[in-house]
């Protein structure tokens, strides 16, 4: 049976009683029952760009509402908007044309009470009683207050809030009430395929933060709250997931494994959970269970393990306190009580570790730990704080400061090597380096612009990333790079969200405007073989919020299905 919890009996009963009460009140008022579901009215607005999305034009970079970016930086950027992101952000190179999303008349030009520098514009849409707000334009719009505009009219060009065009060029778009006091979710007003748009592009900002005291609330692009600019913050979570960026462990790197080769034919689908469950699903290291946080509203969520072979048997593994486990399961590291503690699970021995609040990550085979200490938030657009990169043995001994740098990120490659990413000033350039632990040597790997989606292959021999908006459009796309000094990035023949299946095989879903939904595709970085692993003529893959994960043994894929907001399993051929 599908995964169900007491959450249903408590939360859903209340919800349905409310819905039924409203329904029957309407029936009594009208005296009739509806004969069929009503078709929702068409959305009144269009997208603000003329070109289709893609790596050479524009991509959705942050959604509206309870986003991961808003949780981390809302108190700096969105304090007036309840700390939520009260618009949409679109990555686009400077001077990308911006068009009116609907008919109306210009209301404000460069009203900096909105912020949204270097330039902004607002349009009042009288028929809808709404106002659209366009921020971070590169130059003052030539339009004047009161000037009529038609849907699709050119109103300006994208710019950069840092005034450089080499830092954070993007368009910020809002839908507000006529008096500007309430921001509404643009997804509900702009006709676009928001599921497809959210498939790739928003590394670090998009997606939504869970409140582990109410883990299902505000987790899709469609259920985000209105923002009343006169009210208090909505996302000051005591128990958030994912963790704040400054406290989060480095990403998980798996050891090189011997996954079984894919067979012929196509994978099969199985629904794992009911509707609404659950965001941010991942895998247990033994590939036996899908894991996610869930629980009753008002109580700290549990980490639920749902075993995927045979009868679906949910099991509460831990509570919502952040924990990282060693690959062999012998060690646990947590931040309970605000202190980082290493726990020997055999006897519950507790060893305090001074990490400055950062949660460590065990190396692929569990011999060492790695953590990245941020003394302050690394606010994009500002000067990143001086951070510290540390390693130790798995038991916490032998602590070693291997590098200090402004901001950036770190990844395990293997037991002896660490991948370091360093920002170059206030630009969108990143330098990639490899630190070798036995020799204490740091070697430059490559410097790139607009780095997105960095992912380390199991075993660490190859990394994957994509580079949008390059000066040469033909250079924009997905790249693979050997982790060896002197290696050259190789552009791969696809674009779309991707995951490693094993050390040499990638799974991806093609990002094709006009043909958004298709099959899951396999690509071999060693042979160049590419083929679908789910039936192109069968069930389409529609992934919500780019939330999908491949099991460590390469046999399964779990994804959050946009059609029913439920977790589904693909058993690969």
Q: Is the pLDDT score of 249 beyond 90?
A: yes
> Given this model, what pLDDT does residue 437 score?
99
Instruction: Look up residue 209 and give its two tokens.
Output: 């933060």
**pLDDT of 371-410, one tens digit each?**
999 999 988 888 889 999 999 999 999 999 999 999 999 9
The domain that holds 347 is classified in CATH as 2.130.10.10
Q: Is the pLDDT score of 209 beyond 80?
A: yes
Residue numbers of the domain that contains 82: 59-241
Q: How far apart are the C-alpha atoms of 492 and 467, rounded to whole Å?
A: 11
H or E stretch at 317: strand 313-319
Same domain, 351 and 223: no
Whether 557 is covered by a domain: the verdict is: no
Same domain, 221 and 344: no
Instruction: Look up residue 300 and give its two tokens.
Output: 């700290």
> Given this model, what pLDDT does residue 120 score?
98
> Given this model, what pLDDT does residue 32 score?
38
Buried b (16+ CB within 10 A) or exposed e, 449-480: bbbbbbbbbbbbbbbbbbbbbbeeeeebbbbb
Buried b (16+ CB within 10 A) or exposed e, 404-436: ebebbbbbbbbeebbbbbbbeeeebebbbbbbe
Instruction: Report the percent of the chain where pLDDT is more than 70.
Output: 92
> Given this model, what pLDDT does residue 332 score?
96
223-237, 355-369, 370-384: the lowest-pLDDT one: 370-384
Q: Is the pLDDT score of 486 beyond 60?
A: yes
Give the end of a domain, one of 491, 523, 549.
491
Domain total for the chain?
A: 2
Give the start-end residues of each E strand in 47-118.
Answer: 59-62, 88-91, 97-99, 104-109
Integer CA distances (angstroms), 447 to 250, 444, 470, 541, in order:
21, 8, 13, 34
Whether 141 is covered by a domain: the verdict is: yes
As a whole number, mean pLDDT of residues 527-544 equals 95
33, exposed or middle or buried, with CB in 10 Å at 0-12, 13-18, 19+? exposed
H or E stretch at 7: helix 6-7
**pLDDT of 290-340, one tens digit each?**
999 999 999 999 999 999 998 888 999 888 888 999 999 999 999 988 899
Q: How far apart are the C-alpha atoms of 102 and 189, rounded to whole Å?
A: 10
> Given this model, what pLDDT does residue 523 score?
98
> Given this model, what pLDDT does residue 48 score?
99
**pLDDT of 31-90, one tens digit each?**
333 334 467 789 999 999 999 999 999 999 999 999 999 999 999 999 999 999 999 999
Same domain, 79 and 220: yes
As a whole number, mean pLDDT of residues 481-503 equals 97
Q: How far apart are the C-alpha atoms of 394 and 400, rounded to whole Å?
A: 13
DSSP string spanning 520-541? Answer: -EEEETTT--EEESS-TTS---
Whether 256 is covered by a domain: the verdict is: no
Whether 351 is covered by a domain: the verdict is: yes
Stated length of the chain? 573
Give the pLDDT band (50/70/90) at residue 20.
very low
Q: How far apart are the C-alpha atoms of 235 and 240, rounded to whole Å?
A: 9
Q: How far apart are the C-alpha atoms of 551 and 306, rounded to whole Å?
A: 13
Q: Is the pLDDT score of 28 beyond 60?
A: no
Same domain, 67 and 211: yes
Give the pLDDT band (50/70/90) at residue 2.
low
> Given this model, what pLDDT does residue 257 score?
82
**pLDDT of 129-178, one tens digit each?**
999 999 999 999 999 999 999 999 999 999 999 999 999 999 999 999 99
Per the prediction, the chain carries an average pLDDT of 92
Q: How far apart are the C-alpha atoms of 99 and 138, rounded to whole Å?
A: 14
The domain that holds 128 is classified in CATH as 2.70.70.10
The neighbour count for residue 263, using CB atoms within 10 Å, is 10
> Given this model, what pLDDT does residue 507 score?
98
Instruction: Report the percent of the chain where pLDDT is more than 90.
Output: 85
Exposure of 535 in the CB half-sphere (CA atoms within 13 A): 8
SS3 content of the chain, % helix, strand, coil (to 5): 10, 35, 55
**Which ranges constitute the DSSP H helices of 343-451?**
none
> Given this model, what pLDDT does residue 203 score?
66
Write the DSSP symbol of residue 383: P
**pLDDT of 402-449, one tens digit each?**
999 999 999 999 999 999 999 999 999 999 999 999 999 999 999 999
In terms of pLDDT, which residue wins out, 3 or 512?
A: 512
> Given this model, what pLDDT does residue 516 score?
67
Tell me the backbone φ, ψ of residue 201, rounded to 5 degrees.
Answer: 125, -30
Give the end of a domain, one of 470, 491, 512.
491
Integer CA distances (angstroms), 144 to 105, 147, 148, 254, 389, in order:
9, 6, 9, 57, 52
H or E stretch at 344: strand 341-344
Q: How far apart are the C-alpha atoms of 62 and 75, rounded to whole Å?
A: 16
Write the DSSP symbol of residue 8: I
Q: How far apart are the C-alpha atoms of 312 and 305, rounded to whole Å?
A: 10
Give the SS3 label for residue 318.
strand
Whether 232 is covered by a domain: the verdict is: yes
- CA 245 from chain center: how many Å? 12
Whether the CB-CB separation of 175 and 189 falls below 8 Å is answered with yes
DSSP string spanning 114-173? Answer: G---SEEEEEEETTTTEEEEEEEESS--S--TT-EE-TT-EEEEBB-TTSSSSS--EEEE
- With CA atoms as reference, report the closest residue to 289 among 259, 313, 255, 265: 313
Tell me the backbone φ, ψ of residue 216, rounded to 5 degrees.
Answer: -95, -5
Output the CA angle 157-160-162, nearest 5 degrees: 155
Strand order in the sheet with 530-532: 498-500, 505-508, 521-524, 530-532
Write the DSSP symbol of residue 394: T
pTM, two decimal places:
0.92
Q: How far apart are the C-alpha atoms of 286 and 426, rounded to whole Å?
A: 41
> Given this model, what pLDDT does residue 18 score?
36
Q: How far apart are the C-alpha atoms of 484 and 504, rounded to whole Å?
A: 16
Give the end of a domain, one of 491, 517, 550.
491
> Given this model, what pLDDT does residue 151 score?
98
Whether 178 is covered by a domain: the verdict is: yes
Whether 399 is covered by a domain: the verdict is: yes
The neighbour count for residue 505, using CB atoms within 10 Å, is 22
Whether 138 is covered by a domain: the verdict is: yes
């Amino acid at each position: 049976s599908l995964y169900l919890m007491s959450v249903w009996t408590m939360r859903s009963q209340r919800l349905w009683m409310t819905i039924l009460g409203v329904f029957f009140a309407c029936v009594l008022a009208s005296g009739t029952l509806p004969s069929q579901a009503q078709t929702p009215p068409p959305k009144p607005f269009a997208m603000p760009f003329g070109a289709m999305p893609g790596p050479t034009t524009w991509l959705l970079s942050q959604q509206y509402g309870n986003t991961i970016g808003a949780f981390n930086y809302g108190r700096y950027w969105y304090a007036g908007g309840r700390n939520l992101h009260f618009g949409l952000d679109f990555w686009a190179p400077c001077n990308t044309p911006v068009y009116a999303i609907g008919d109306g008349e210009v209301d404000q030009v460069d009203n900096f009470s909105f912020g949204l520098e270097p330039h902004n514009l607002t349009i009042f849409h009288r028929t809808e009683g709404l106002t659209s707000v366009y921020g971070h334009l590169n130059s003052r719009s030539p339009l004047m207050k009161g000037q009529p505009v038609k849907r699709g009219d050119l109103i300006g060009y994208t710019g950069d809030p840092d005034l450089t065009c080499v830092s954070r060029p993007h368009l910020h778009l809002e839908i507000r009430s006529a008096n500007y006091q309430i921001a509404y979710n643009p997804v509900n007003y702009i006709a676009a395929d928001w599921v497809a748009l959210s498939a790739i592009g928003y590394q670090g900002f998009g997606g939504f933060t869970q409140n582990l005291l109410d883990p299902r609330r505000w987790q899709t692009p469609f259920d985000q709250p209105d923002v009343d600019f006169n009210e208090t913050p909505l996302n000051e979570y005591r128990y958030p997931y994912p963790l704040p960026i400054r406290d989060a462990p480095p990403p998980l790197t798996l050891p090189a494994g011997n996954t079984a080769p894919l067979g012929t034919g196509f994978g099969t689908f199985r629904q794992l959970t009911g509707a609404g469950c659950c965001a941010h699903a991942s895998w247990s290291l033994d590939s036996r269970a899908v894991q996610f946080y869930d629980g009753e509203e008002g109580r700290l969520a549990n980490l639920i393990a749902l075993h995927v072979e045979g009868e679906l048997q949910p099991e509460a593994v831990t509570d919502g306190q952040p924990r990282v486990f060693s690959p062999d399961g012998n060690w646990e590291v947590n931040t309970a009580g605000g202190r980082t503690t290493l726990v020997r699970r055999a006897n519950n021995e507790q060893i305090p570790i001074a990490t400055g609040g950062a949660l460590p990550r065990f190396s692929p085979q569990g011999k060492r730990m790695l953590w990245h200490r941020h003394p302050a938030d690394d606010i994009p657009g500002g000067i990143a704080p001086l951070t510290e990169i540390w390693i130790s043995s798995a038991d916490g001994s032998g602590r070693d400061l291997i590098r200090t740098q402004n901001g950036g990120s770190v990844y395990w490659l293997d037991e002896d090597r660490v991948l370091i990413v360093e920002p170059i000033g206030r630009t969108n350039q990143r330098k990639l380096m490899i630190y070798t632990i036995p020799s204490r040597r740091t070697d430059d790997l490559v410097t790139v612009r607009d780095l997105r989606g960095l992912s380390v292959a199991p075993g660490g021999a190859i990394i994957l990333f994509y580079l949008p908006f390059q000066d040469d459009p033909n250079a924009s796309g997905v790249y693979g790079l050997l982790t060896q000094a002197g290696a050259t990035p190789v552009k791969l023949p696809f674009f779309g969200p991707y995951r490693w299946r094993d050390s040499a095989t990638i799974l991806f879903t093609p990002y094709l405007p006009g043909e958004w939904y298709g099959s899951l595709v396999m690509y071999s970085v060693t042979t160049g073989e590419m083929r679908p692993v789910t039936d192109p003529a069968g069930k389409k893959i529609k992934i919500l919020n780019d939330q999908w994960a491949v099991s460590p043994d390469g046999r399964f894929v779990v994804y959050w299905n946009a059609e029913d907001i439920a977790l589904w399993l693909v058993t690969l051929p």
